[in-house]
């Protein structure tokens, strides 16, 4: 609990910095810092698999892709000039934030064993996955065995992303 509050403050700071900074390359690096901080938060909350994915994809691969994209741009393209925020956004954003906070008050407490998420089907997985699949890591057992069709479709999505990037970005030399 002692580390969570500073991490959350740092998370908000990096998120704001990535939006407010003038140079896009700086923004990319601050975004990488944001992902890494988010990974630390996931790890503290006990979701190690999510933290691993966030650290590797958000702080690693996405940063590389952003940088490779920015290398193709000129310096005048990466300097952003922002118009001042319209008054409707200034009015609407606090209202939405208050609504979200109001909604979050009704969420079950963190780690509550009586919450719907922990009573519906999670106990079945937790109790049976080792006997049924021989896999001690429940997350992998769920992703790859119980929910393998979802994972297959996710893999198809990644495959499609690769093909779409190749089709859109590669021009000439047919």
Partner 1 sequence: MIQAHDSVIVRTLGRIVIPIAQLFGFYVLVFGQYGPGGGFVGGVILAASMILAILILGRHQPDSGLVTKVLQGDGVGLLIFAGVGGLCLIGGGQFLNYTHLQIPGLDEASRHFVGILLTQFGVAADVAVTGVSIAISLSSANETEEVPHG
Binding site for partner 1 (CB under 8 A): 48-49, 51-53, 56-57, 60-61, 64-65, 68-69, 71-72, 131-137, 139-141, 143-145, 148-149, 151-152, 155-156, 158-159, 161-163, 165-166, 168-174
The minimum distance between CB 45 and partner 1, in angstroms, equals 13
- 11-42 burial by CB neighbour count: b if 16+ within 10 A, else e? beebbebbeebeebeebbbbbbbbbbbbbbbb
Q: Is 5 left (phi over 0), alpha (psi -120 to 50) or beta?
A: alpha
Q: How far apart, in whole angstroms, are the C-alpha atoms of residue 134 and residue 159?
A: 29
Nearest approach, Cβ of residue 13 and partner 1 (Å): 27
Residue with tokens 């922990």: 118
| Residue with the two structure tokens 């740092």 | 10
Distance CA 161, CA 57 (A): 15
**Residue closer to partner 1, measured from CB, 119 or 160:** 160
In the bound state with partner 1, the residue whose beta carbon lies nearer, of 16 and 61, is 61
We find the least distance from the C-beta atom of residue 146 to partner 1, in angstroms, to be 10
Q: Closest distance between partner 1 and the C-beta of residue 9, in Å?
A: 26
Determine contact, residues 18/31, Cβ cutoff 8 Å.
yes
């Amino acid at each position: 609990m002692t580390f969570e509050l500073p991490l959350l403050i740092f998370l908000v700071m990096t998120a704001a910095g990535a939006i407010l900074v003038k140079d896009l390359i700086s923004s990319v690096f601050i975004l990488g810092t944001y992902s890494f901080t988010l990974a630390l938060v996931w790890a503290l909350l006990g979701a190690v698999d999510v933290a691993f994915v966030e650290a590797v994809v958000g702080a690693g691969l996405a940063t590389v892709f952003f940088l490779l994209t920015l290398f193709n741009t000129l310096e005048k393209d990466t300097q952003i000039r922002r118009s001042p925020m319209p008054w409707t956004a200034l009015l609407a954003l606090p209202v939405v934030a208050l609504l979200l906070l109001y909604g979050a008050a009704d969420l079950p407490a963190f780690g509550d064993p009586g919450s719907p998420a922990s009573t519906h089907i999670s106990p079945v997985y937790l109790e049976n996955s080792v006997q049924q699949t021989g896999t001690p890591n429940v997350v992998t057992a769920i992703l790859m065995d119980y929910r393998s069709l979802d994972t297959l479709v996710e893999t198809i999505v990644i495959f499609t992303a690769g093909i779409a990037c190749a089709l859109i970005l590669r021009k000439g030399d047919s």
